[in-house]
Every structure is written in C-alpha cells, then in structure tokens.
Structure 1
Amino acid sequence: MPGIIGKKIGMTRIFSDEGHAVPVTVVEAGPCPVVQVKTEERDGYQAIQLGFGRKKEKRTPRPEAGHAARVGLEAAPAILREFKLPGAELPDEGSEVTVELFAQGDKVKVTGTSKGRGFQGVVKRHGFSGRPASHGHPMSRNPGSLGPGTNPSRVIKGKKLPGQMGDARVTVRNLEIMKVDPERNLLFVKGGLPGSRHSYVFISK
C-alpha cells in the first residue's frame, strides 16, 4: 500500500532508548476505507481512492453519498485522496488501510498545506537581510534596487518580491516514524509537519 490520510493532532516529545528527547508530531491516521479501485483496463492506470473522516449528512451532496454507499459506507468521507499503485496488487473496495501499514523506523514523506501568512514583505518571505536600521534610514525593510535602469529597463521575471506567503502545498521527505499506536490509530513522526493543527496530511513511503 502506498500511503494513508491523517490529521495533525499536535506536537509533543518522546524519549529514545538512549534517553534523548525527540520532538514528534502526533498524527491521527486512518482507518481509511478503500472507496474506489481504478484499473489499467478501465481507467488507463492503477490507483486506489482512500477516504478519511466522516462528513455530516446535511453537508453531503447526493453524488458523494451514493459514491460512499456503493462500497457499504454509512457516511461519505470528509476527504478523498487517490494513491497510484503501478504494477502492484490492488486491494478490494470497502477494505481498510490502517497505521499498521507502517513500522517504527520507517522513512516516509508527508504532504500538507502550509499555514497561510498573508501578504508579507521580502524580509519575512524570502529572508532578505534588510537595509540599515539606524542613522535615520527611512526604509529599513524594503527590497532595494530591483535591477538595472537603462537596460533592460524592467524587472526581470522571477525576481523575489513581496507577496502572498504560505497556504501552499508542501512535501517533506525522509521523516522517521518514531512510534506506531494501532489501538488509537496514531503515528508519531519525528520533527514538524506542514500545516496547522487538525489539518489533513498525506503520509506515504
């Protein structure tokens, strides 16, 4: 199986066998029902569609409710995510993917949506050092010169400028699974993960 859908709970720390404090992010992952299986013959590629969470009935469109009921789910999942499985054995529709897919010490990649920071300047957005902050300098955090004036007499494309920061899809690779708790459907992943608390993340090997 390629991965699982989860929700960030928060951060804490656990102690290694050597007594070192290790910062971890706690993720509630699964159980994720297999809502749909896509095959090479019918769809042109192999993949599975996993669901996570539970959507309120009054907020569920009828097509989504029917899509979930087709595999025996009582309620439509709050989120759906497709994982490609080229050349692998496909599971049955209606089966579940749990945290037992992972083991302590596994290396995973985690994808999420980073926190939105709004419109920010170049110092915060790109790490510019800024200009002199003393001796009466009027603009200590502006970007300064944006390029030559005579030729080409314009700002070159790709120049780092102020703008919207965050609220973007971010993937962090080579994170280590420090602990797996199948009874509570929890994964303890070393380090921080993109996104705010209670945001969805996608974990795959």
Structure 2
Amino acid sequence: MPGIIGKKIGMTSIFGPEGENIACTVIEAGPCVVTQVKNEETDGYRAVQLAFGEKKEKNSTKAEIGHFKKASTTPKKEVVEFRDFKAEFEGLAELGKELRIQDIFVVGDFIDAVGTSKGRGFQGVVKRHGFGGVGGATHGQHDRLRAPGSMGNASFASRVPKGKRLPGRMGGAQVKLTNLEVVKILPEQNLIVISGSVPGPKNSTVILQK
C-alpha cells in the first residue's frame, strides 16, 4: 500500500462545510526519498523503502551512509517499508526519487495513521483499564479505593489466567487508527491536515497509509 512518513505538529480545529467544528491533526509529511525498491525476484516480495528526516553523518554508521549514498541522498532518521505498492503508483517507485504529499494523497481520501502512543509508565487498574475501585471507604477499607478487587480464583485454577486486566506498563505501544479523512493539504509547507487525533506526542514520527 502507498504511504508516507511524517512528523506530528499538533492539533487544531477547522469548520466543516455545514459549519461544524472538526478536530484535526496537523502532520508535516515528507518530502521522503525512495532509498530502496524490492521485488519478488530478488527479495521475495514487493516493497518501497522511504526515508524521512535529516540525520548528521557523524551520528550514522558506515553501512547507513553507504545505503543512502546508493539513492544519492544524505543520511535520514526514519526508514520505513511500504509493501505492495498499487499499480497506479509504479512510477513513484524509483530509487532516489523524492515523494511529496500531493503525489500520494488528495483531499477527501480516507487513510490510516500509525504512531507510538505516549508512555504512561506503570499504572494501576483504574487508570489503565477504567476500573471503578472496590467501593466506599467505610468498614476499614481505607486503602482499597483504587484496588483491583478479587481475582476470582481459589483452589481452582490456582493461578492467574493469561490476559487478566491488572496493573502494568501503559502506553508506549504502536497504535493504528483507520479511516481518518484528509481535510486539507498544504503542499508548499509539506503539511497535511486529517480529521481526528493521531497517537503520540508532538514531534513524534507518524506513518500515513492509503
């Protein structure tokens, strides 16, 4: 599927055609450079590798420098593969070619956004899973307000079943949101505005897929 790499700028809101207020996310997408083209004969599958974001040469390995040199470009921060490019985008899959937003998306498209959610650290069941806590603070329950409560296990099955909703690490995981509408494209600034929210903090990497 075709796509592009971008950086989340932040959120804003715009007015829709009927005067409704639409919450939107602004993403600086591209320009991206095609750094590798894979096919069934040599790699076993079809894919286009795109690179985004400048990276200092002193912070790059020799292997990275050599890889980007084949595409006649400078070292990049982010490298992502997009598998199975559709036929109408075959002309874009050329080594060293620079891709921009308007080459892939148009206003009105429904796209998917992939990002890494904000890390929340170790959290309890109330924040992580929306539990209501044990209940009132009477009858000695002074320290049970945000506790998970009973597990429902005794001599059988004598263990905690897998997948049980318990305290643990929250956030910092890859999240994919689907069917986000492209509201506006600003090609001069390499900006794309899509409806809804996108996972991750500001300045984080976002992958947009068609």
Query: Aligned in 2, Cα 1:66/1:113: closer, same or farther, shift over 3 Å?
Result: same
CA–CA separation in structure 2 for the residues paired with 1:200 and 1:128: 31
2:2/2:85 contact within 8 Å kept: no
Structure 1 residue matching 2:154: 3-state secondary structure = coil
CA–CA separation in structure 1 for the residues paired with 2:86 and 2:118: 36
Deviation per residue, 1:155-201 (Å, 9 max, x gap): 11211110000000100001111101111110101111000000001
What letter corresponds to residue 202 of structure 1 in structure 2?
I
In the TM superposition, residue 10 of structure 1 has moved relative to its aligned partner by: 0.4
1:46/1:87 contact within 8 Å kept: no
Give 1:35's aligned residue.
Answer: 35
What letter corresponds to residue 59 of structure 1 in structure 2?
N
Q: Across the two proteins, how many residue pairs are aligned to each other?
A: 204
Structure 2 residue matching 1:160: 3-state secondary structure = coil
Give 2:191's aligned residue.
Answer: 186
32-41 vs 78-87, which moves further: 78-87
Give every structure 1 segment of 4 or more consecutive aligned residues whose post-TM-superposition deviation is greater than 4 Å. none
Give 1:197's aligned residue.
Answer: 202
Unaligned stretches of 5+ residues in structure 1: none
Give 1:137's aligned residue.
Answer: 141
Give 1:70's aligned residue.
Answer: 70
Q: Indicate the percent of aligned positions where both proteins have the same amino acid.
A: 51
CA–CA separation in structure 1 for the residues paired with 2:86 and 2:185: 28
1:154-173 equivalence runs, <5 A: 154-173=159-178
1:10-159 equivalence runs, <5 A: 10-73=10-73, 75-85=74-84, 88=87, 89=90, 91-100=93-102, 101-135=104-138, 136-138=140-142, 139-159=144-164
CA–CA separation in structure 2 for the residues paired with 1:58 and 1:103: 37
In the TM superposition, residue 204 of structure 1 has moved relative to its aligned partner by: 0.6
148-157 vs 102-111, which moves further: 148-157
Structure 2 residue matching 1:51: 3-state secondary structure = strand
12-21 vs 58-67, which moves further: 12-21
2:31/2:98 contact within 8 Å kept: yes
Structure 2 residue matching 1:19: 3-state secondary structure = coil
CA–CA separation in structure 1 for the residues paired with 2:38 and 2:56: 26
Query: Aligned in 2, Cα 1:5/1:86: closer, same or farther, shift over 3 Å?
Result: closer
Structure 2 residue matching 1:53: 3-state secondary structure = strand
In the TM superposition, residue 87 of structure 1 has moved relative to its aligned partner by: 6.5
What letter corresponds to residue 20 of structure 1 in structure 2?
E
Q: CA RMSD in A?
A: 1.3
CA–CA separation in structure 1 for the residues paired with 2:10 and 2:85: 33
Query: Aligned in 2, Cα 1:30/1:86: closer, same or farther, shift over 3 Å?
Result: closer
What letter corresponds to residue 167 of structure 1 in structure 2?
G
CA–CA separation in structure 1 for the residues paired with 2:41 and 2:200: 37
Q: TM-score under structure 2 normalisation?
A: 0.93
In the TM superposition, residue 84 of structure 1 has moved relative to its aligned partner by: 0.4
Deviation per residue, 1:99-143 (Å, 9 max, x gap): 101111110010010000000001111111112143252211111
CA–CA separation in structure 1 for the residues paired with 2:13 and 2:86: 38
Structure 1 residue matching 2:76: 3-state secondary structure = coil
What letter corresponds to residue 137 of structure 1 in structure 2?
Q
